[in-house]
Amino acid sequence: MGNCSNHHLGIPPAKGPHAVGCTDFMMDHTSKGSFFRLYYPCHEAEKAEKPDWIPCREYFNGLADFMKINRSLSERIFNYLFGSFKIPAHLDAPFKSNEKCPVVIFSHGLGAFRTLYSAICAELASQGFVVASVEHRDQSASATFFFHEKSESQTANQDLPKTSDSVQNSLESEWMYYRALQHGESEFPLRNKQVKQRADECILALDRLTEINSGIAVQNVLQTQFDWTTLENSMDLCRTAVIGHSFGGATVIESLCKEVKFKCGVALDAWMAPLDDETFPRVKQPIFFINSEKFQWAGNISRMKKLESAVIQRKMITIRGTVHQSFPDFTFLTGDWIGKLMKLKGEIDPELALDLCNKATLAFLQRHLGLEKNFNQWDPLIDGQDDNLIQGTNVTVIQSSI
């Protein structure tokens, strides 16, 4: 499976002092439940399995639909390009931390899903964070799934193929794919409704982690090998942040507005269109906008600037030579010409770009979560002090005099 010549490509391993584990969590099997991938510091395991980057073929189908290409053709192409890649984390490895971990909730972009930002999430976990990468059920993910109860006749007929050997036999999986805009449909009402649901899903993930931390027994519908009781009293829920890319960047703003337990937010190349104007003055927490050089435009930046404040820290930097897809894992998984053709790669080395993004994020999180780490060594990056960074934006915004 996958492309043999891709041996030099892959998601870079995390750089922090901790080994990284990951597991999947779904509580409440319906579409209203919480579904996320958890990244966490773990015990180094000898033979720990690394999970597939794309969990199963339905996600390839979802990406095809999102990109408006033929499913059967694209499945072969995607499988050839990406089928063999693994996430740089140990599946279901035992949790290990000598101190309480601050918590990050991560929100993916339009047409993405929970596994596509593993380089960022694994890096945060390697630096001592517990990270829940939410898979959104607002029809903005290219694909996701939930379960419904089988009918009595289906349950009685056990000759039916099981949907998954890790799920109770009484449940059957149902896939939800990306919903494209209908012809003539106005975009804002749909996206605004979605961003509100996405924020609710981020808050629900935090609520689930709060229950797990307090020792409440949780029922993971996906019967993984991970022992959730080991997370009891392991998280510092006074130190929580929300991070997201693109539509996930808008989700960061909406989540901060709705939930004061999030102490700060980092918005990666945020797409601001889904947000109501009245949301901006209601956000009271610090925000860090980390933008790519090629994606942003004046109207979008001017909406970010509505969040500028004399009393709350609001920062913005732009990484030179980056494109919108410099933040998800795709940027590491294609050769130069395909990467640039598909706009998955910018002019800058992708590892350097993400390294700057991660270090600036860690410095910002230390500052606003009150962490006692050494991330403040990267404080200058918050102000764009690096040859590969621009302080603020490269986009010219004409300020109105109103």
**Mean pLDDT, residues 61-85:** 86
Select, from the ranges 183-187, 197-201, 392-396, the one with the highest average predicted confidence (pLDDT). 197-201
Between residues 26 and 76, the one the model is more confident about: 26
Sole residue written with tokens 């004399």: 310
Helix (H) or strand (E) holding 25: strand 19-27
- Six-digit token string for 123: 């890096």
Verify whether residue 246 is a known catalytic residue. yes
Verify whether residue 108 is a known catalytic residue. no
Tens of pLDDT, residue by residue over 217-272, are 888 999 899 999 999 999 999 999 999 999 999 999 999 999 999 999 999 999 99
Verify whether residue 383 is a known catalytic residue. no
CA gap 179, 159 in Å, rounded: 33
CA neighbor of 91 nearest in space, from 54, 39, 15, 18: 39
Q: Which residues are bridge partners to 107 per DSSP? A: 134, 244
Q: Is the pLDDT of residue 2 over 90?
A: no
State whether residue 185 is helix, strand or coil.
coil
Q: What pLDDT, on the 0 to 100 scale, is given for residue 209?
A: 97
CA neighbor of 94 nearest in space, from 24, 193, 23: 23
Q: What pLDDT, on the 0 to 100 scale, is given for residue 165?
A: 46
Tens of pLDDT, residue by residue over 149-175, are 877 666 555 554 444 444 566 889 999
Q: Which domains does the chain have, with CATH numbers?
A: 4-391 (3.40.50.1820)
φ/ψ of 383, rounded to 5, equals -100, 15
CA gap 278, 275 in Å, rounded: 8
* DSSP 8-state symbol, 330: G
Q: What pLDDT, on the 0 to 100 scale, is given for residue 162?
A: 45
Q: Is the pLDDT of residue 295 over 90?
A: yes
Tens of pLDDT, residue by residue over 327-344, are 999 999 988 877 887 888
State whether residue 55 is helix, strand or coil.
coil
Please pick, among 29, 90, 245, 324, the residue that the annotation labels catalytic. Answer: 324
Please pick, among 133, 140, 142, 246, the residue that the annotation labels catalytic. Answer: 246
Tens of pLDDT, residue by residue over 351-377, are 999 999 999 999 999 999 999 999 999
In percent, the amount of the chain with pLDDT more than 70 equals 93
**Mean pLDDT, residues 312-337:** 93
Please pick, among 118, 269, 292, 368, the residue that the annotation labels catalytic. Answer: 269
Tens of pLDDT, residue by residue over 42-53, are 998 777 899 999
Q: Mean pLDDT across the chain, nearest whole number?
A: 91
